[in-house]
Chains A and B, each alone.
Chain A
Amino acid sequence: MAAPEYSLMELMTVVAAREVADGEVVFAGTGLPMLGVMLAQKTHAPGCIIIFEAGTVASRLAHLPMSVGDPRAMRGAAMAAGLNEVFTYILQAGRVDVGFLSGAQVDRFGNINSTSIGADPRRPSVRFSGSGGACDIACLAKRTIIIAKHEKRRFPEKVDYITSPGWLEGGESRKASGLVRGGPDVVVTTMGVIRFRPDSKAPYLASFHPGLSPAAVAAETEFALEVGGAVETRPPSEAELQILRDVVDPERVFLK
Chain B
Amino acid sequence: MPGKLIGLHEAAALVPDGATLSIGGFTTQRHPMAFVYELVRAKKRGLYLFGHSPGGDWDVLIGAGCVRRVELAYEADEAFNTVGPRWRRAVERGEIEWEDYSNFSMVARFTAGAMGIPFMPVRSLLGSDLVHKEALTPEARAADPRTAAKKTHVMDSPFDPADRVVLVPAIHTEFAVLHVQKATAGGTIRIEGQSYADVQMALCADTVIVTAEEIVEEDDLRRTPELNLLPFFAVKHVCQVPFGAHPYAVYNYYDYDPVQLKEYHESARDDAAYRAYLDHYVFGVRDHEAYLEAVGGAARLDGLRAAPDFGYSPGLKRRL
Task: Please list the residues of chain A having a beta carbon within 8 angstroms of any beta carbon in chain B.
Answer: 30-31, 53-56, 62-63, 66-75, 80-84, 87-88, 91-92, 115-116, 121-136, 138-140, 161-165, 168, 173-174, 177-180, 251-254
Contacts and interface: CB of A to CB of B under 8 A. Distances in A.
Interface stretch (B40-48, B123-131, B208-216, B269-277): B123-131
Nearest to B133: A121
Contacts of B78: 30-31, 66-68
Contacts of B137: 122
Interface stretch (B14-22, B170-178, B284-292, B309-317): B309-317
B83 A135 contact: no
Contact of B125 (A116, A135, A168, A180): A135
Interface stretch (B5-13, B98-106, B141-149, B232-240): B98-106
B200 A84 contact: yes
Contacts of B88: 126-128
A131 B251 CA distance: 25
B94 interface: yes
B129 A163 contact: yes
Interface band, chain B:
35 or more
B294 interface: no
B50 interface: no
B178 to A, nearest CB: 12
A137 to B, nearest CB: 9
Interface of B: 25-29, 52-53, 72-80, 82-84, 87-88, 91-92, 94, 100-105, 107-108, 111, 122-130, 132-135, 137, 154, 164-165, 193-200, 249, 251-252, 255-256, 306, 310-312, 314, 317-319
Contacts of A129: 74-76, 82-84
Contact of A122 (B73, B126, B135): B135
Given A178-B127, A254-B79, A54 B314 contact: no
25 contacts: A55-B195, A69-B27, A69-B194, A71-B251, A71-B255, A71-B306, A74-B193, A82-B194, A83-B26, A83-B104, A84-B107, A87-B104, A87-B108, A92-B104, A122-B135, A127-B88, A129-B76, A131-B100, A135-B130, A164-B128, A168-B127, A179-B127, A251-B317, A251-B318, A254-B79
A132 B102 contact: yes
A54 to B, nearest CB: 5
Contact of B126 (A70, A81, A163, A165): A165
A164 B80 CA distance: 23
A154 B28 CA distance: 27
B130 A252 contact: no
Given A68-B78, A161-B133, A135 B196 contact: no
A56 B194 contact: yes
A67 B29 contact: yes
Contacts of B108: 84, 87-88
B92 A125 contact: yes
B199 A83 contact: no
Contacts of B79: 30-31, 66-67, 253-254
A194 B152 CA distance: 33
Nearest to B191: A82
B128 A124 contact: no
Nearest to A81: B195
Nearest to A66: B79
A178 B161 CA distance: 11
Contacts of A164: 128
A129 B92 CA distance: 12
Nearest to B78: A67
A131 B319 contact: no
A192 B275 CA distance: 44
B27 A74 contact: no
Given A130-B75, A139-B126, 19 more contacts: A30-B78, A54-B26, A54-B53, A55-B196, A66-B256, A69-B25, A71-B310, A83-B26, A87-B107, A88-B104, A126-B88, A126-B92, A127-B88, A129-B76, A130-B73, A133-B53, A133-B73, A136-B102, A165-B126
